[in-house]
Amino acid sequence: MSLTLVEALGQVDLEAGQTYCCQVKGHWVELRVLGPVETRPSACYDESDVMLDPWVELPRPSSASRLRSRP
């Protein structure tokens, strides 16, 4: 019989705000427990993490000649 992760964690006494680590089949697993009303980390971000400046001044094009083509 195989348990899902949700079923397995449902049997464990988890505390909000705690981080749990264990090794499973050679891989380290880290579980961070959030409270019932806390937002998910992917839903919020710190504005200082944004590294793009939305206003950019592009240089003016250099002088060029026009070329007309005919079929």
Which residue is it, tokens 């891989």? 27
Residue 37 lies in a domain: yes
Query: Number of folded domains in the chain?
Result: 1
Does the pTM exceed 0.85?
no
Confidence of residue 20 (pLDDT cuts 50, 70, 90): very high
Q: What integer pLDDT is reported at residue 44 of this predicted model?
A: 66
Pairing of strands 27-32, 19-24: antiparallel
Domain with 24, as residue range(s), is: 14-41
Residue 26 has pLDDT above 90, yes or no: yes
pLDDT tens, residue by residue, 27-60: 999 999 888 776 566 656 677 777 776 677 778 8
Residue-level pLDDT at 29: 92
CA angle 35, 28, 50 (to 5 degrees): 60
Asked if the structure places residue 60 within a domain, the reply is: no
